[in-house]
Chain A
Amino acid sequence: MQLTVWTYEGPPHVGAMRIATAMKGVHFVLHAPQGDTYADLLFTMIERRGARPPVTYTTFQARDLGTDTAEIFKTAARDAYERFDPDLMLVGASCTAELIQDDPGGLARALNLPVPTITLELPSYQKKENWGAAETFYQIVRGLATEAPAPKAEGAKPSCNILGATALGFRHRDDVIEITRLLHQLGIEVNVAAPMGATADDIRRLPEADFNVVLYPEIADTAARWLERQYGQKAVRTIPMGFQATCEFVREVAALAGVDPEPLLAQHGSHMPWWARSVDSNYLTGKRVFVFGDATHAMAAARVAKEELGFEVVGLGCYNREFARDVRAVAAQLGVEALITDDYLLVEETVAALQPELVLGTQMERHIAKRLGVPCAVISAPVHVQDFPARYAPVMGFEGANVLFDTWVHPLVMGLEEHLLTMFREDFEFNDAAGPSHLGGHAKVEAAAQPSVPEVARAPVAAADPVQETITVLNWSPEATKELSKIPFFVRGKAKRNTERYAAEQGLEIISLEALYDAKSHFAR
């Protein structure tokens, strides 16, 4: 048993729903008890979809157990076929139905419905949402893309598939548009984009493309590997997130397609490199960032943070184990230890201990950052309703690089403002507790979240709550305490920690004003 407060991923059948909902003409019959329909609201509320997910839940109850749950499944499947007339049916079981072992696949076969029907095995007690999505997409591709393509006509344009975009993905809608545009500019046709927007017939046509672009490996890697084995389609695995990665992506697809990437690269039109080089961005240098998300977005974000914004990555991790090895390798290059966990509490402890100046994470890290009073930008699913923007906001491609610059810099206090806050600590109107001046309404929250320094200095705090101070609070002199309070909140935690570490190492009983400044020079970078 795993003690869980918040989960990064839902169960595998939610992954299957993300595929079914993303596609057209697909219907999913899910053997499930009452209550599992909650998953609909993820799509209708969080993603604001204007249609119900194409899912029929059998809705069995306690009184049905051991009598006729199989019959309930058959009725639901038959009714769903008649009502929705899909081109493809998926059948599977949620966690409770898995325990009663009704065999939805066998029951569906017995119904003999005149429509291709794919049985999903979704082991709820071992696997999670991303795995469920990947497995579902793979089974659909394997089940439908069975025919080798006719030989390609002479002089036909090079073509590729874009694989991996689903419902509920982080910016999938706009990433696909952006990457499609990029490919068109290179003279490459997009044969099929799947699962998002694809029909069963589109899936059948997948083998016709020259190669595959795996935009979201968490979802499309399994299917892409099968297509490669079966039809020799190469897979592009460079994720075009950030300016450099997009350039590398362009070169890689151009090489596969046999086209020249240089004209496009010469006029990419991205503002991001200049925005990063302009003098105003100087204050971004060395900002300490913590990066956490799904492996793909976290790795890409870490690189952008370090090489394209000049931040210092102080922590990197992901919640999915499927690509943990890659994340560990990237973390090692950055000189940090990778945090591979789906335990929200552990992530929170890590962020509290690292004291970053910016958190790049998921909806969960947004909570953590809010609680710790650290600025935060979201880079990965799971996300909430505010991260499905009305405007066009890809995170991939050249426009995506622009979006990353804007969204990551926005939560920070602006450069000159930061200086003024440091210089005039006692101004009653203009102080750090008021939060960045361009982000209104934070004053009270920040003030409450930030324990006032004298209070912290007064007494040791119990270590029961990891978010509270966990290190022993040493004895601060009143002068040093006052001086500490003059350090802006966004670096105060680090200064306090460093000073206490220094004092402990030096065996100081009281932290004096001198000790504070000795520590500062000791840890000067």
Chain B
Amino acid sequence: MSDAATLTSPALEARPVLRERGQREVFCGLTGIVWLHRKIQDAFFLVVGSRTCAHLIQSAAGVMVFAEPRFATAIMEERDLAGLVDANEELDRVVDRLLSRRPDIKLLFLVGSCPSEVIKLDLSRAAERLSKKHSPSVRVLNYSGSGIETTFTQGEDACLVALVPEAPVAADDAPASLLVVGTLPDIVEDQFTRLFNQLGIGPVHFFPPRHSQSIPAIGPNTKFLLAQPFLGETARALAERGAQHLPALFPFGAEGTTHWLKAAADAFGIPELHFLAVVAPGRERAKRALEAQKQHLAGKSIFFFPDSQMEPSLARFLARELDMTLIEVGTPYLNRQLLSAEMAYLPEAVTLSEGQDVDRQLDRCRAAKPDLVVCGMGLANPLEREGISTKWSIELVFSPVHGFDCAGDLAGLFARPLYRRSVLKV
């Protein structure tokens, strides 16, 4: 296996990237709350925003979680705009009411929005003030999920950056530990935990943790793997705490997962033979599962609209492990550093695009007549109506797709629309 880091920069620099600006058919960073509020079980997310923000989150949540969700919106009204003093008093009142209703909350995120950013409501000072007031039972942090600053998954990045300073400081001589960064489904965490145990890597912690009280200590002997490609700022914040990033492909598919695990194994000095012995069964299972999906996907062309920043990694997986043909891979933001390994593995003949002008991109898409389009929920049905098969992208963020044992399921998400089209006779 080649070390990704050595393949990096030239491959990307050489690639032309189509940069566009115009209407973007993407969510803002507030949307991350939909999964983050389920992950950290004693945290609550309070958006300080407008009715639009509240409407966005409940619409993006789609199914509308039946239990009382651990998020809410403090909807700003006319009088909150009149003076910031009043807005701060109002915010304190809303937080008091919220915390008295939910005494189980230990960590409260004040989440900034477009309107709160534009009127320059200082949520970091508000968080400090409220933290003091409600200490020690509740810690109050803040981040911005506003659409003017963040796109969809960048909301998780911003949230995790706010959480990093909460991690205890690990001593300089603490034993080496592994941190897996990025929200993963519980079952995937368990699968990875088993693999790291078998490899002899440990202790292993996940970030964000399931409970705010169990944030792992971070220090110079912390080595971290990113589970998601959209966590650039979090990686930077961890590096500032002295933690060491282990660059790798992202763990999608048999190849990506092997590469990702290998980066950890090398950092922890795991012997090659032992590594191969441990990963072999999972890798074989993944390959078998992928073989079953290949009949639907091999040779089919695919076009990605920008959504989660996962697009280049997923495209690499589909091209290399399922023999799909990539037409255009759009991403809201191309993080050159984190994606350097992925770029080296992406086929040459693919258009990479960053940003969006949705109408022009639709023109390109229609002209290319792809077999499958990956896009957001606003575009999927209109394209289906035009006769183009689609996979709506938010499912890729909401399903267990990482690691060996989800590789087949991940491929299945792409295969299902094509298979469905082949069976429907209406």
Contacts and interface: CB of A to CB of B under 8 A. Distances in A.
B148 interface: yes
A38 B33 CA distance: 15
A49 B381 contact: yes
B385 A367 contact: no
A3 B74 contact: yes
Given A33-B114, A62-B149, A464-B102, A3 B24 contact: no
Interface residues of B, number: 66
A128 interface: yes
Contacts of A465: 68, 101
B28 interface: yes
Max count, chain A CB within 10 A of own CB: residue among B55, B93, B115: B55
B381 A34 contact: no
Nearest to B384: A50
Nearest to B92: A1
A99 interface: yes
Contacts of A5: 68-69, 71-72
Nearest to A52: B382
Contacts of A290: none
Contacts of A437: none
Interface stretch (B220-228, B267-275, B292-300, B372-380): B372-380
Interface stretch (B58-66, B247-255, B319-327): B58-66
B198 interface: no
Contacts of B22: 59, 76, 79
Interface residues of A, number: 58
Contacts of A4: 51, 54, 72-75
A79 B357 CA distance: 11
A44 B379 CA distance: 7
A86 interface: no
Nearest to B97: A3
B378 A34 contact: no
B94 interface: yes
B115 A99 contact: yes
Contacts of B115: 95-96, 99
B146 interface: yes
A363 B67 CA distance: 14
B149 A44 contact: no
B172 interface: no
A79 B384 CA distance: 25
Contact of B147 (A35, A124, A363): A35
Given A52-B382, A65-B118, A3 B94 contact: yes
A50 B51 contact: no
Contacts of A51: 382, 385
Interface string B72-109: 11111110110000010011011001100111000000
Interface in B362-408: 376-382, 384-385
A62 B148 contact: yes
Nearest to A348: B68
Nearest to B358: A37
Contacts of B81: 99, 125
A64 to B, nearest CB: 8
Contacts of B379: 40, 44, 52
Interface in B157-198: none
B101 A14 contact: no
A9 B51 CA distance: 8
B118 A126 contact: no
A95 B50 contact: yes
A105 interface: no
Given A5-B68, A50-B382, A464-B101, A95 B26 contact: no
Contacts of B151: 34-35
A16 to B, nearest CB: 13
- Which among B73, B81, B147 has the highest number of chain A CB atoms within 10 Å? B147
Contacts of A457: none
Contact of B93 (A1, A95, A123): A1
B382 A363 contact: no
B72 A37 contact: no
Contacts of A37: 23-27, 378
A212 interface: no
Interface in B316-343: none
A107 to B, nearest CB: 17
Contact of B380 (A13, A44, A56, A60): A44
Nearest to B93: A1
B117 interface: yes
Given A125-B77, A370-B66, A1 B94 contact: yes
B6 interface: no
B310 interface: no
B278 interface: no
Contacts of A36: 28, 52, 56, 147
Given A4-B54, A126-B78, A44 B26 contact: no
Contacts of A521: none
B119 interface: yes
A71 B60 CA distance: 30
Given A33-B146, A96-B115, A384-B64, A3 B51 contact: no
B284 interface: no
A494 B153 CA distance: 47
Given A33-B28, A35-B147, A40-B378, A83 B359 contact: yes
B30 interface: yes
By CB atoms of chain B within 10 A, which of A56, A59, A62 has the most?
A: A59
Contacts of B90: 1
Nearest to A7: B54
Contact of A2 (B77, B117, B376, B381): B77
A42 interface: yes
Given A36-B52, A96-B118, A96-B148, A58 B76 contact: no
Nearest to B48: A1
Contact of B59 (A42, A62, A124, A370): A42
20 contacts: A1-B80, A1-B91, A3-B74, A3-B98, A7-B51, A7-B55, A10-B52, A14-B55, A35-B29, A36-B52, A37-B25, A52-B379, A94-B52, A96-B50, A99-B118, A100-B118, A367-B64, A371-B66, A371-B67, A464-B103
Interface of A: 1-7, 9-11, 13-14, 33-42, 44-45, 48-52, 56-62, 65, 76, 79, 83, 94-96, 99-100, 123-126, 128, 363, 367, 370-371, 384, 464-465, 467
A-B pairs with lowest CB-CB distance, top 6: A35-B28, A35-B147, A40-B378, A50-B385, A96-B114, A95-B50
